[in-house]
Amino acid sequence: MMQGFLGVLWVISLVLMAMAVFAFIDGAMRRGDAYSAANKQTKVFWLIILGLAIASNVFQILFLQIAGLIATIVYIVDVRPALKQVMGNGPRRGGSSSDGPYGPFNGR
């Protein structure tokens, strides 16, 4: 019974690590000026926080793992979409590439 519980904890820890690594790589690939344009903390701040989240998962420090999970979720849910919108590759809301500001542009 204990073996199964430890297996589940290992899988959860692995998922948390993958999320933190994804957020760190995504944050490193974004331009630094996009963070200030999106009214978020600096790129260096987020890379340090996400790097600490990865380190806390490597060294299995429970309190820091929880804080790292919260920071990772905040980055993925709040910061990343704001950066994508500022950088111009945010979510598309329908339409086509030929749409202008007042409707479709058909070249007529």
Report, as an integer, the average pLDDT of 69-83: 94
Domain ranges of the chain: 12-87
User: How far lies 17's CA from each of 23, 35, 66, 97, 102, in Å?
Assistant: 10, 24, 12, 37, 45
**Residue 69 contacts by C-beta under 8 Å, 6 or more apart in sequence?**
16, 19, 20, 53
Q: Show the DSSP H helices in the chain as ranges.
A: 2-29, 32-37, 43-58, 62-74, 80-86
pLDDT digit string, tens, across residues 15-69? 999 999 999 999 999 999 999 999 999 999 999 999 999 999 888 888 888 999 9
Q: Answer whether residue 98 shows pLDDT above 90.
A: no
CB atoms within 10 A of CB 19: 20
Of 26 and 100, the one with more pLDDT = 26
How high is the pLDDT of residue 10?
A: 84
Report, as an integer, the average pLDDT of 88-106: 60
